[in-house]
């Protein structure tokens, strides 16, 4: 009998969000002495430019990875650092009107060196460059042999010249030159954490031989329109959980009839369920009692999203953690049946004192069929670094469910939400509670005027308000949000807040890791 053997399979494909854990594990293997990327950085890269993120799989294992984005020639060819050019690792400066493909990272499994993985990744970059009609590929290449040879070559320019003259061998630079890349200069202090290169890099360029100069008018126009509906929900006593669910389903039905892509409920809108309690509870007893409704709430809302074919931002609901603490959690129920959770990061002083609410530990963009979105619960919208991280991860719509008891508190949320829309050049949707629950401690009265907010520039509403409700009545606000208007504003608006950030002066470093750039 003839022995049959199945050959090993090796594939190159675009990365997805599901690949993030394996990409991070690969980085650890490839660069054990360099700081790892944050998960949010990888998600930001994929969501900013999915076509530019490549994986190599061998027999089902991720053995290669590279990240790219498009950038203008002026930025690519001028002196820069890795943090400046990549937007601190999120590919936040991706510009589809740019002329060059920028390589921000390459990682190859050190145990799989003979599979030509690096060659495949560099070829994928070249093919992408040609498919998009760009001038070429450019990146900052490591100089890992420079530290050992610094005495002989005191400056990185001298060391790079010695490589080009073949006086010395540098494993990374020699490979890149064999792949057709030409060193055109030195990027000083490009990536300080790369001690083998003493922080420096060579500016490597591959010029597309098929490039033809054409007027730039946006290479991938995206006329996608997303319809959103913000529910200004009335707090009222109910006789049963089913009565509360009928009230909620009514608004989901209305939003679905309007063909909305998103239906947004307010923060803590489930407090009406406390009217089912037989006695008046203390604030901490109330939150504990409300958290017991979590399993039924999650199942019910997920079924609504699927049945009405609509994505639901389920306001927020107190949820007990595995260690017995209570967190205020926004659940996002997508129409494909998946459920995502976003914890409130900053409980207010009242929430901490009366309800013993604990703050969460993460904020991430959520992938949806309308693109990545972000959720910040009420007080979190008053902390600009959270919204900026969501923007860097690709969010173009930020949802802010909120609950305030007077006009002063409402305006804090409203003004900060408008600021977040301007500084991040994305849409912000707020949804608040109205009405009252006399027997519920610390949630007895409500004040709201829900709104759908835009950046303040010519493509948008004159006052930056796409839609808003009347104050303190139960109703909805509906608006169509054009994502291509956001892209145009970020690219060529009167102001360009995201693009014009001074990455050379400041950056936010999150506690889950500093990030890295490797080529």
Catalytic residue numbers read 267, 344, 378
The tokens describing 53, both together, are 């993120």
Cβ pair 273, 436 in contact under 8 A:
no
Task: Return the structure tokens found at 482.
Answer: 């054009």
Whose tokens are 């890795």? That residue is 82
**DSSP conformational letter for 499:** T
- Signed CA dihedral, 231, 236, 240, 241: sign only: positive
**Which candidate, 518, 454, 445, places its Cα nearest to that of 488?**
454
Q: For residues 489 and 485, give the distance between their C-alpha atoms in angstroms, rounded to a whole number.
A: 6
DSSP secondary structure letters along 193-254? T-GGGTT-EEEEEEE-TT------S-SS----EEEEEEEEEEE---SSHHHHHHHHHHHHHH
Tell me the torsion sign for CA atoms 170, 176, 182, 185: negative
Give ∠ CA 10-16-19 in degrees, rounded to 5.
70
Closest CA to 314 of 326, 323, 303: 303
143, containing H or E segment: none
Q: What tokens appear for 132 in the block?
A: 């998009």
Nearest to 455 by CA among 475, 436, 482: 482
DSSP 355: I
Q: For the chain, how far is it from start to end, CA to CA, in angstroms?
A: 49
Instruction: With beta carbons less than 8 A apart as the criterion, state whether 103 and 66 touch.
Output: yes
Rounded CA-CA distance 399/331 in Å is 11
| The pairing of beta strand 451-453 with beta strand 465-468 | antiparallel
d(CA 83, CA 144): 19
């Amino acid at each position: 009998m003839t022995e049959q053997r199945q050959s090993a399979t090796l594939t190159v494909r675009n990365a997805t969000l599901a690949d993030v854990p394996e990409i991070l594990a690969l980085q650890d293997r490839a660069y054990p002495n360099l700081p790892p990327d944050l998960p949010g950085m990888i998600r930001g890269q994929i969501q900013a430019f999915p076509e530019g993120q490549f994986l190599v799989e061998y027999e089902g294992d991720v053995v290669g990875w590279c990240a790219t984005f498009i950038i203008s020639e002026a930025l690519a060819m001028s002196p820069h650092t890795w943090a400046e050019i990549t937007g601190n690792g999120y590919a936040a400066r991706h510009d589809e009107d740019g002329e060059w493909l920028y390589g921000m990272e390459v990682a190859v499994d050190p145990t799989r060196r003979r599979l030509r993985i690096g060659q495949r990744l560099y070829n994928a970059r070249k093919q992408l460059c040609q498919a998009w009609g760009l001038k070429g590929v450019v990146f900052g290449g490591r100089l890992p042999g420079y530290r050992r040879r610094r005495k002989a070559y005191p400056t990185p320019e001298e060391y790079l010249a010695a490589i080009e003259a073949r006086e010395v061998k540098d494993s990374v630079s020699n490979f890149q030159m064999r792949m057709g890349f030409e060193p055109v200069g030195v990027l000083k202090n490009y990536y300080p954490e790369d001690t083998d290169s003493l922080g420096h890099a060579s500016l490597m360029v591959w010029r597309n031989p098929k490039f033809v100069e054409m007027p730039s008018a946006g290479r991938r126009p995206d006329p996608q329109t997303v319809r959103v509906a913000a529910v200004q929900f009335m707090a009222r006593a109910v006789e049963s959980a089913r009565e509360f669910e009928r009230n909620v389903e009514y608004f989901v039905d209305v939003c679905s009839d309007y063909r909305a892509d998103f239906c947004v409920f307010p923060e803590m809108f489930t407090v009406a369920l406390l009217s089912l309690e037989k006695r008046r509870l203390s604030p901490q007893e109330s939150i504990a009692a409300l958290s017991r409704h979590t399993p039924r709430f999650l199942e019910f809302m997920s079924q609504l999203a699927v049945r009405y074919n609509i994505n639901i931002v389920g306001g927020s609901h107190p949820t007990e953690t595995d260690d017995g603490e209570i967190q205020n959690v926004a659940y996002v129920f997508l129409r494909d049946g998946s459920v995502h959770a976003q914890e409130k990061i900053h409980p207010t002083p009242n929430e901490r004192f009366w309800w013993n609410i604990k703050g969460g530990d993460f904020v991430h963009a959520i992938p949806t069929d309308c693109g990545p979105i972000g959720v910040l619960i009420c007080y979190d919208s008053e902390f600009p670094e959270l919204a900026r991280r969501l923007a860097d991860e690709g969010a173009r719509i930020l949802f802010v469910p909120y609950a305030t008891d007077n006009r002063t508190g409402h305006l804090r949320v409203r003004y900060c939400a408008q600021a977040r829309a301007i500084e991040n050049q994305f849409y912000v949707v707020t949804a608040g509670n109205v009405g009252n629950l006399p027997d519920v401690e610390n949630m007895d009265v409500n004040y709201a005027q829900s709104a759908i907010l835009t950046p303040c520039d010519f493509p948008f509403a004159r006052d930056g308000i796409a839609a808003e409700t009347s104050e303190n009545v139960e109703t909805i606000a509906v608006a169509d949000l054009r994502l291509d208007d956001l892209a145009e504003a970020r690219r060529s608006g009167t102001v360009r807040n995201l693009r014009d950030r001074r990455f050379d002066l400041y950056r936010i470093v999150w506690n889950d890791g500093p990030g890295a750039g490797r080529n």
